Amino acid sequence: MTKTHIFVCGGIGCRAMESEQLRKNFQREILVRGLSDEVQVVTTGCFGFCEKGPLVKILPDQTFYVQVSPDDAAEIVSEHIIHQRKVERLLYIDPETRKRVTESKDMDFYKRQFRIALRNCGVIDPDNIEEYIARDGYSAIAKCLTEYTPEKVIDIVKKSGLRGRGGGGFPTGLKWEITRKSENSQKYVVCNADEGDPGAFMDRSILEGDPHSVIEAMAICGYCIGADKGLIYIRAEYPLAIKRLKRALQQAVDTGLLGRDILGTGFNFEIEIRYGAGAFVCGEETALIHSMEGCRGEPTFKPPFPSVEGYMGKPTNVNNVETFANIPVIINKGAEWFSAIGTEKSKGTKVFALAGKINNVGLIEVPMGTTLREIIYDIGGGIKDGKKFKAVQTGGPSGGCLSEKYLDTPIDYDNLIEAGSMMGSGGMIVLDENDCMVSIAKFYLGFTLDESCGKCAPCRIGNKRLYEKLDKITSGEGTMEDLVRLKSLSLVIKDTSLCGLGQSSPNPVLSTLTNFYDEYVAHVKEKKCPSKQCKDLINFTIIEDKCTGCTLCFRNCPVEAISGEKSKIHHIHQDKCIKCGLCYSKCKFEAILIE
Amino acid sequence: MTKTQLSEPAEILVKSICARYKNDEHELINILHELQHELGHLPAELQSAVAHELHIPVSKIYGVVSFYSFFTMLPKGKYQISVCLGTACYVRGGELVLEEFKRRLNIKTGETTKDGVFSLSCIRCVGACGLAPVVTIGEKVYGRVSPQQVRRIIDEYLMLEEG
């Protein structure tokens, strides 16, 4: 029995900072010092606090080290493990009290979170089914198969109030019930792991950190709807998630928790993996199904819903990763426990990928009904570099930008829609005073243009026209009439597009028009970008009184657009300047003016 | 589609991969994934060969290949530079980094340098938002990249090339 565990975060952010090398160094130290019997090094899934990565947690004392480099492994082993002394310099510093914090539960980032879907991420070794089982894993499927009828399980899921976490928010239990009632000898359970929102990575983190929770839930779903086959549709760009999923599937089969006659109950269920190939529209369930059938991922009109006619024409229940990850907990703890969390119509928790101009970037899970203010200021630690908050974007390309007045709105499916945004899959990007809202709307439209499948005209042509108008405005060529057209065209696209992608694609435009109309007007009337981001509307010049001739701007300019000698005033040549802003960010004397 | 002949080893590969999937047209995407993994890209003559094996029109294969951004008909460079333009990277200056790569390599997004060393693409969120803006080259992830680091990153690989 090993006494101490060293958990190294294996999330993508930490791996990008060499956490894999860190793990190897830990292992080598343990080996060299002959501690292999007492200490075990484990790569876990994402801890969530990406901003401070690479992260290391030591058990049983729960010490949480931040920004650990591969070179720190030796010191942690000799100090912490051998001499039982904490490595103070690697402990998190509370930004307010300036004191070192030892355990994650005492950090602002973690203490306001409530983890259901992420319960095992960063807590267990995802490659070890026994660790999952030790945390009540597969007890929910056992309970379902031996104690409950499928109807009873569906009833529990319905009563829990769980709604689809992929974006739409359709009640999960109801979906299961409809699929159960569709009569057919062959049905399918599909897990949508084709996370496409450019700014959301929770599904990936769950699959990398706790793949068994999804497998268990899919089997429970199969039992409920009467399916013996599950398919996981996953992005091919997620190699680690695929690897862990494959290993987990094999372990589940080997342990008799997947395959034929599960737990001797006569219930059969197997799971296959299907690969996505990079198409955002495949997050839409009919498009996803066509993609799994080997076709272009184009959506089709609903009804028939997949619950009635889905994969290969058979009844198919599609849920996303995060939705599934909630299921085992709901079965184990009961519908009442789950429905006590959250708001009246949105129960449970939601995982958000918190990013952008915020101090604590990371993956968080909070009860529904938490306000944006709590997320941004309490958990997220406020805006980066002391800048002023401008907006928060939720729901990715289908969502909208919410201004300051929405900071105290409790977040749930309905409130976000009412505010002109949506939950989406849980991307949450914080924007500060330097972000131009017209450019942000244009950025999302650009994404939609790339990703529109082209099947229906409103989405294919309408979004193109919207993009052109936005481009015109950010170039300083826009007119007030364009603003009127932007809105009317947006409404037409919303009303007439075939699928969810087109129906929601104008949301970034509409929400910025509503909440930041002044910025649009400034671009149009004054030909100015208030945030000084739109390249066609700004010029960089040197304030002669302030320039000391330090040559820093000259040396950093990537296009040699700055001339000047040491100790003499420098000049920016407008014909060469690409307006990258480097000189502005480099100048120590505030001698660069943007106008 | 061009009439270029597929090389013999490539043809054998197509046959064996298709056969492994029982020449089932519903497995088309899996087949294309494997072929691209082996051969790097999916040129027109390869698509014809797959169409032949699966007994479906080549237009259907082309439809699928051109639909998904993961599939490419053109060969990629030895080092594939991907600049993340997910929202978090975008608001932290990802676009400026992309511009700088384009300028330094003198290619557009989606293109490969003439010597076949670099290709440039943009991707949407690799999940390392804490390190925004992010650039990936193969397995390696570069975080908090600024435009002035671009030259150093390119040089790193050019030095590898020169040995």
Confidence band for A2, pLDDT divided at 50, 70 and 90: low
The verdict on a CB contact (< 8 Å) between B123 and A236 is no
Of the three residues B67, B88, B112, the one that is the final residue of a domain is B67
Write out the DSSP string of A14-45. Answer: HHHTTHHHHHHHHHHHHHHTT-TTTEEEEEES
Q: Is the dihedral of CA A154, A155, A156, A157 positive or negative?
A: positive
Residue B124 within any structural domain of the chain: yes
Q: What is the pLDDT of residue B125?
A: 83
Residue B149 within any structural domain of the chain: yes
Set out the domains of chain A in order of their start, with CATH numbers. 4-103 (3.40.30.10), 129-338 (3.40.50.11540), 349-432 (3.10.20.600), 437-526 (1.20.1440.230), 539-594 (3.30.70.20)
Instruction: Count other Cβ atoms within 10 Å, centred on residue B75.
Output: 13
Q: Are residues B19 and B51 in the same domain?
A: yes
Q: What is the CATH number of the domain that holds B116?
A: 3.40.30.10
* Residues on chain B touching A12 (C-beta within 8 angstroms): 126-128, 141
Dist. CA A105–CA A122, nearest whole Å = 13
The verdict on a CB contact (< 8 Å) between A396 and B90 is no
Q: What is the pLDDT of residue A222?
A: 98
Q: Which domain holds residue B20?
A: 8-67
Dist. CA A392–CA A383, nearest whole Å = 11
> Measuring CA to CA, how many Å separate A236 from each of A196, A204, A276, A547, B46?
12, 11, 6, 51, 21
Confidence band for B130, pLDDT divided at 50, 70 and 90: confident
Q: Strands A267-276, A349-356: parallel, antiparallel or unpaired by DSSP?
A: unpaired
Q: Which residue of A has its CA nearest to B137?
A: A16
Of A414, A174, A453, the closest CA to residue A305 belongs to: A174
pLDDT tens for A435-487 read: 999 999 999 999 999 999 999 999 999 999 999 999 999 999 999 999 999 99
The verdict on a CB contact (< 8 Å) between B125 and A357 is no
Q: Are residues B63 and B102 in the same domain?
A: no
Q: Are residues B57 and B16 in the same domain?
A: yes
Tokens found for residue A177: 């019930």
What angle separates helix A211-225 from helix A239-254, to the nearest 10 degrees? 60
pLDDT tens for A122-139 read: 999 999 999 999 999 999
Q: Are residues B96 and B150 in the same domain?
A: yes
Residue B107 within any structural domain of the chain: yes
* Residues on chain B touching A355 (C-beta within 8 angstroms): 87-88, 129-130, 132
Is A47 buried (19+), middle (13-18) or exposed (0-12) by CB count in 10 A? buried
* Residues on chain B touching A277 (C-beta within 8 angstroms): 29, 32-33, 68-71
Confidence band for A434, pLDDT divided at 50, 70 and 90: very high
* Residues on chain B touching A13 (C-beta within 8 angstroms): 127-131
The verdict on a CB contact (< 8 Å) between A198 and B146 is no
Is the per-residue pLDDT at A1 higher than 60? no
Dist. CA B119–CA A254, nearest whole Å = 42
User: Among A19, A52, A351, A429, which would you mutate to test the B interface (most chain B Cβ atoms within 10 Å of its Cβ)?
Assistant: A429
The verdict on a CB contact (< 8 Å) between A582 and B146 is yes
Q: What is the mean pLDDT of residues A204-210?
A: 94
The separation between CA A518 and the C-alpha centre of its own chain, rounded to angstroms, equals 30
Is the per-residue pLDDT at B1 higher than 70? no
Q: What is the mean pLDDT of residues A521-546?
A: 95
pLDDT tens for B70-128 read: 999 999 999 999 999 999 999 999 999 999 999 999 999 999 999 999 999 998 888 88
Q: What is the mean pLDDT of residues A416-436?
A: 93
Q: Are residues B57 and B124 in the same domain?
A: no
Q: Measure in Å the smallest separation between the Cα of B27 and chain A Cα atoms.
A: 6
Q: Are residues B61 and B91 in the same domain?
A: no
Give the percent of chain A with pLDDT over 90: 91
Dist. CA A9–CA A24, nearest whole Å = 13
Helix, strand, coil tally for chain A in percent (to 5): 45, 15, 40
Residue B97 within any structural domain of the chain: yes
The verdict on a CB contact (< 8 Å) between B130 and A578 is no
Q: Are residues B143 and B123 in the same domain?
A: yes
Q: Are residues B92 and B34 in the same domain?
A: no
Which one-letter amino acid corresponds to residue A446? G
The verdict on a CB contact (< 8 Å) between A199 and B130 is no
Residue B128 within any structural domain of the chain: yes
Q: What is the CA radius of gyration of chain A?
A: 26
Of the three residues B45, B67, B89, the one that is the final residue of a domain is B67
Q: Strands B118-123, B79-84: parallel, antiparallel or unpaired by DSSP?
A: parallel
Q: Measure in Å the smallest separation between the Cα of A382 and chain B Cα atoms.
A: 15
Is the per-residue pLDDT at A390 higher than 60? yes
* Residues on chain B touching A292 (C-beta within 8 angstroms): 26
- Give the total residue count for chain A: 595
The verdict on a CB contact (< 8 Å) between B85 and A205 is no
Residue B34 within any structural domain of the chain: yes
Q: Are residues B51 and B17 in the same domain?
A: yes
Q: What is the pLDDT of residue A580?
A: 81
Dist. CA A211–CA A321, nearest whole Å = 9
Domain count across chain B: 2
Q: Measure in Å the smallest separation between the Cα of A156 and chain B Cα atoms.
A: 34
Q: What is the CA radius of gyration of chain B?
A: 18
Q: Which residue of A has its CA nearest to B31?
A: A294
Q: What is the mean pLDDT of residues B143-151?
A: 91
**3-state DSSP call for residue A263?**
coil
3-state secondary structure A268-315: EEEEEEEEECCCHHHHCHHHHHHHHCCCCCCCCCCCCCCCCCCHHHCC
Of A145, A345, A319, the closest CA to residue A230 belongs to: A319
The verdict on a CB contact (< 8 Å) between A582 and B147 is yes
Q: Which residue has the tokens 């789950």?
A: A338
Which helix (H) or strand (E) is A59 found in, with range? strand A56-59
Q: Measure in Å the smallest separation between the Cα of A113 and chain B Cα atoms.
A: 18
Give the percent of chain A with pLDDT over 70: 100
The separation between CA A41 and the C-alpha centre of its own chain, rounded to angstroms, equals 27
The verdict on a CB contact (< 8 Å) between B33 and A277 is yes
Residue B101 within any structural domain of the chain: yes
Q: Is the peptide bond preceding residue A211 cis, with omega within 30 degrees of 0?
A: no
ipTM: 0.92
Q: What is the mean pLDDT of residues A64-68?
A: 97
Q: Are residues B85 and B148 in the same domain?
A: yes
* Residues on chain B touching A556 (C-beta within 8 angstroms): 148
Q: What is the pLDDT of residue A119?
A: 96
Of the three residues B47, B67, B87, the one that is the final residue of a domain is B67
pLDDT tens for A75-121 read: 999 999 999 999 999 999 999 899 999 999 999 999 999 999 999 99
Q: By the 8 A CB rule, do A189 and A225 touch?
A: yes
Dist. CA A528–CA A518, nearest whole Å = 11
Is the per-residue pLDDT at B3 higher than 60? no
Dist. CA A513–CA A518, nearest whole Å = 8
Q: What is the mean pLDDT of residues A8-35?
A: 94
Q: What is the pLDDT of residue A168?
A: 82
Which of B70, B90, B141 is closest, CB to CB, to A278? B70
Residue B3 within any structural domain of the chain: no
At residue B126, what are phi and psi to the nearest 5 degrees?
-95, 0
Of A199, A378, A122, A363, the closest CA to residue B132 belongs to: A199
Residues 6 or more apart whose Cβ sits within 8 Å of residue B94: B83, B84, B85, B86, B132, B133, B134
Q: Are residues B156 and B86 in the same domain?
A: yes
Q: What is the mean pLDDT of residues A388-397?
A: 94
Q: What is the pLDDT of residue B2?
A: 47
Of A31, A80, A78, A29, the closest CA to residue A59 belongs to: A80
Q: Are residues B103 and B45 in the same domain?
A: no
Q: Is the dihedral of CA A308, A310, A314, A319 positive or negative?
A: negative
At residue A452, what are phi and psi to the nearest 5 degrees?
-60, 135
Of A67, A64, A47, the closest CA to residue A124 belongs to: A47
The verdict on a CB contact (< 8 Å) between B68 and A50 is no
Tokens found for residue B132: 């925004």
Sheet holding A267-276, edge to edge: A259-262, A267-276, A229-235, A188-193, A316-320
Q: What is the pLDDT of residue A556?
A: 86
